[in-house]
Amino acid sequence: MSEARTPGAVYLLGASIFVLGTTEFVIAGLLPELSADLGVSLPEAGLLISAFAVAMVVGAPVLAVLTLRLPRRATLLGALGLFAAGQVLGALAGDYPTLMVARVITAAATGAFWAVAGVVAVSMVPPGQRARALSLLLGGLTTANVLGVPLGTLVGQQWGWRATFWAIAVAAVVAMAGIWGWLPVSGVGGGPAVGVRAEVRAFRSGRLWLALGTSAVFEAGVMGAFGYLAPVVTDVAGLPGGAVPVVLTLYGVGSLVGVRLGGRWADARPWGTLYLALGVIACALLVLAAAARVPGVPMVAAFVLGLAVFVAGTALTARVFALAGPAPTLASAANASAFNVGNTVGPWLGGLVIAGLGLRAPAVLGAVLAGAALGLGLVSRALETPGPGVPHTRESGLSSG
């Protein structure tokens, strides 16, 4: 039997996430321009990145609750409209506080879009292809890091940082037009979401909290190591500064492969996919820590990491949807928040271990946290072991593999 074709609307959602994902990290490439133009220090300008992550942690579930009674198509359009407005406010900002407000607005809108886009994507495909649909959304985020951030940085360096904000705002309006024209008016995600009580009821499940904790620990380990990969390349491996973009590109290429493989593998053997990916991440980071002085090791490790990270991310996201059942919107928002908790905590922990143990320490930290996430996954599987006479079923969550 041939597989059902993934609807074009799912690719459209992934393209929209490409636009939203670009804005989160493009600031990193524009810090010197922002700092000089607004008269703030580089560390102060860098807080614009942290503020985005924190605002997503809080804003995603809040907006998910506030929009539960709206049709999901309307929520997607509203989130993109709010995002575009935040970009315009940022482009017009005459001072640092206004730009910070703009970042908070765009982050909250991004979180709301993520939550609903995941629900819509999985509702448009058969149950056996949910992970693949979610991988297309993660592919939009991956492409944002590989292509959107460098392009946004180039635009800002050539025409000023405000031009980057304007360009992303225009892209968001184009995404709105696409969703308006191509996403079905009815039948998306079953129409309006269920009530707040039903959504909150899903959080009575300890397994859901365990899944969210696994996402946060996994992401903290990845970002704790990845955030300090550049100095490992230059100061430990002794490679020239020009090698850093090469290493980052290899990570991006690996992630593109990872989202493709993760969608297929996580649908077929979800638990095995998750365990394999987390184990590969831990091993790759340990090899990086032990052999970083060998010039080729950081490059190979970056590719392997990119691949394994996005395989694991796909499996973890599908896990949350499986546990949320008929009330997935708030759980999806909470999962976005969990990943951003990891984005916030990971680099902070990496900085702490560097201060005491050196530049290789974040890789060891990442391996330890990946191992911890693997342990949490094993606990999750054990909690789902059925009693005597009760068969395993895919509907119970990630129970096969």
Question: Does the pLDDT of residue 324 top 50, yes or no?
Answer: yes
∠ Cα 240 246 250 (to 5°): 145
Please tell me the predicted confidence (pLDDT) of residue 243: 80
Confidence of residue 185 (pLDDT cuts 50, 70, 90): low
Residue 397 has pLDDT above 50, yes or no: no
Q: Is the pTM of this model over 0.85?
A: no
- Sorting pLDDT into bands at 50, 70 and 90, what band is 191? very low
Return the HEC string of 190-201: CCCCCCHHHHHH
Is the pLDDT assigned to residue 216 strictly greater than 90? yes
The pLDDT value given to residue 40: 85
Which of the 8 DSSP states describes residue 235?
I
CA 185 to chain centre: 27
pLDDT on residue 390: 36
Q: Greater confidence, 200 or 135?
A: 135
- pLDDT for position 195: 64
Per-residue CA distances from 307 to 56, 251, 255, 317, 352 (Å): 25, 8, 4, 16, 27
Which residues lie closer than 8 Å to 36 by C-beta, 6 or more apart?
none
Q: Give the mean model confidence (pLDDT) for residues 195-211.
A: 77
CATH 1.20.1250.20, the chain: domain bounds: 1-193, 195-401
Domain 195-401: give its CATH architecture: Up-down Bundle (1.20)
CA angle 200, 203, 205 (to 5 degrees): 140
Per-residue DSSP letters for 313-331?
Answer: HHHHHHHHHHHHTT--HHH
Confidence band, pLDDT 50/70/90 cuts, at residue 310: confident
Q: Residue 252's pLDDT band (boundaries 50, 70, 90)? A: confident
CATH code of 1-193, in short, is 1.20.1250.20
DSSP summary character for residue 4: P
Give residue 228's pLDDT band: very low, low, confident or very high (50, 70, 90): confident
User: Quick one: pLDDT at residue 138?
Assistant: 78
CA dihedral 390, 395, 396, 398 (to 10 degrees): 120
